[in-house]
Amino acid sequence: MSYLIDGHNLIGQLPDLQLDDPDDEAKLVQKLIGWSARTRRQCVVVFDAGLPGGTSRMSTKSVRVVFASHTSSADKVIIDRIYKEKHPKNWTVVSSDNGVLDIAKRQGMQTIKAMEFARLLERPVPIRPDLGEAVDVKLSADEVDEWLKLFGDE
C-alpha cells in the first residue's frame, strides 16, 4: 500500500510542526522518511506553491516529494494523480479535504483524514527485542549436561 499525502494538511495536524516555519516541508519529509523505513511503505507527499513545481530534490526512494506550481494547488495535483492512477486499490489518500477524499473513494482508493494519519506518524517506534539476548531461556537437563561437558562445571 502506498500513500498519497497532502503535505500542508498533515503539517497542520502535527503538534511539533508549524505551517509558518520556513522548514516545515523538509521537517515533514524527514518524519515521512522515518515512518516509511519503519513501515516499509512508500508515499508521495504533495505541497502547495513550489517554484517551479514538480518533483523535489528532497525525494528519496521511498518518499517522493512534489510541489504544485504557483498556478496550481496540492489538491489539484492530488486529484489529477487519483484520476490517472492505474492501480487505485494500491493507494491510500491522506487529506483534510472531504472533496479530495470523496473523489479518491469513488476511484477505489482507501482514504484517511490527515488528523488520523498524524497520530500514526507520531506513534513511538516499537522496541524490538535483541534476538541475541533472549530472556527466560529454558534448557533441558540433557542440554545442560552437554554444555557442562563442553565447558566444564567450574
Coil, strand, or helix at residue 54? strand
Cell numbers linked to 35: 515512518
Q: Is residue 151 domain-resident?
A: no
Residue 110: count other Cβ atoms within 10 Å of its Cβ: 16
- Our count of domains for the chain comes to 1
Q: At what angle do helices 98-106 and 74-84 cross, to 10 degrees?
A: 10
Coil, strand, or helix at residue 153? coil
Q: Is residue 141 domain-resident?
A: no
Residue type, 141: A
Q: Is residue 143 domain-resident?
A: no
Contacts of 116 (CB under 8 A, 6+ apart): none
Instruction: Give the confidence band of 65 by pLDDT, cuts at 50, 70, 90.
Output: very high
Residue 36, domain extent = 2-129
Instruction: Read off the pLDDT of residues 4-46 as tens digits, 9 standing for 90 and up.
Output: 999 999 999 999 999 999 999 999 999 999 999 999 999 999 9
Q: Is residue 10 domain-resident?
A: yes
Q: Is residue 150 domain-resident?
A: no
Q: Is residue 153 domain-resident?
A: no
- For 23, what's the count of Cα atoms within 13 Å in the CB-facing half-sphere? 4
CATH code of the domain in which 76 resides: 3.40.50
Q: What is the mean pLDDT of the chain?
A: 89
Q: Is residue 87 domain-resident?
A: yes
